[in-house]
Amino acid sequence: MEYPRIGIILVHLNSYSDTSLCLESLSKMSYPNAEVIVVDNGSIDHTGERLKKEFPGVTHIRSDENLGFSGGNNIGIEYGMSKGCVHILLLNNDTIVTPSFLEPLVERLLAENSVAAVSGKIYYYPESIRGKNNIIWYAGVFQKWHSGYHHIGVQEEDKGQFETAMKVIYASGCLMLMNGEVIKLIGGLAEEYFIYWEESDWCLRAKAQGYDCWYEPKSVIDHNFRSAPFGRGETPFYMYMQMRNSFIFARRHFHGWLKVRHHLFYPLYITYYFSTLLWFRNFRGAKAIFYGIIDYLKGYSGKRGLKERGYIKN
């Protein structure tokens, strides 16, 4: 097997505990040619300084402001590519990797010249889902009736039903190995999203250039994602960003019948979701849906509107 140099990017914001656990797991990986690049995305709690002291063997980059998932990763992508990394791995800082997680991703990426990105099998971290093991968070993705996307296998126990590698609409930004040649061709993540939908956007931009994205089940990691009961646990920030960015994404990528389908059915989904939030008295989440739509219509993107709505501080 070839071992091209991989730049592994972790973006964090005031999250020492998650990031340190992730770095500990990366210190045990078996892949022999990788550089870990940690981007401090404007932390104000001295997380960056603490991580730099405790993990001197990785590269640390500081941003003075919160640039979101997109902007923070773009700092790492630019640095990694400039320092000789052939391909780039986006990795959520709240993940724990298995030692051999990277080799299957690289092998799949190198198998064909048409591969833009590869993601692996992602489990919920046991402590984040009532101590259960092998519960799927991502095993690919499909498009639902209302034109939005949904993870394949989410919250299912893994019994070997997702062991076949396959092409997917997009690779999850939680664990996404990006082809360096495609990065050179189409650029990094679109910063108008700030966070959420940016990896979908990147993958569809790559597809427009004739590339494919893959799910590779031989690569396995855990994701410390707190699963919230539908309609009850969604935060206002999450609901706002998902709603605003879904419309940005649709404007950029939906054409023809898909555009018609989005106009016909997505409002029905929004109405259903909004009603569910009200039913469970998640009034702040319901209000955030409204704000997300309004701010999209105002032309807001990136960081604009987030401070005004009280969703971020810096």
Please give the span between the terminal C-alpha atoms of the chain, in angstroms, as a whole number.
44
Residue 249's closest CA among 144, 148, 140? 148
- Structure tokens of 72? 């923070």
pLDDT of residue 225: 82
Find the Cα–Cα–Cα–Cα dihedral 92, 94, 98, 100, rounded to 10°.
20
> CA 151, 4, 166: angle at the middle one, nearest 5?
25
- Structure tokens of 51? 């991580």
Axis crossing angle, helix 236-253 with helix 198-207, rounded to the nearest 10: 20
pLDDT of residue 313: 80
d(CA 126, CA 36): 25
Pinpoint the alpha helices (H) of the chain.
16-26, 47-54, 68-82, 102-111, 180-186, 198-207, 236-253, 256-279, 283-297
Secondary structure (3-state) at 41: strand
Per-residue pLDDT tens listing for the chain (314 residues): 789 999 999 999 999 999 999 999 999 999 999 999 999 999 999 999 999 999 999 999 999 999 999 999 999 999 999 999 999 999 999 999 999 999 999 999 999 999 999 999 999 998 878 788 899 999 999 999 899 999 999 999 999 999 999 999 999 999 999 999 999 999 999 999 999 999 999 999 999 999 999 999 999 999 998 766 565 678 999 999 999 999 999 999 999 999 999 999 999 999 999 999 999 999 999 999 999 999 999 999 999 999 889 998 87
CA 49 from chain center: how many Å? Answer: 25
Q: Residue 121: beta bridge partners?
A: 220
pLDDT of residue 231: 58
pLDDT of residue 153: 96
Are 194 and 65 within 8 A, CB to CB? no
pLDDT of residue 156: 95
pLDDT of residue 141: 97
Secondary structure (3-state) at 34: strand
Are 141 and 149 within 8 A, CB to CB? yes
d(CA 244, CA 239): 8
Phi-psi region of 142 (alpha: psi -120 to 50; beta: other; left: phi over 0): beta
pTM: 0.96
Pairing of strands 149-151, 166-168: unpaired
> How buried is 188 (Cβ within 10 angstroms: 0-12 exposed, 13-18 middle, 19+ buried)?
buried
pLDDT of residue 130: 79
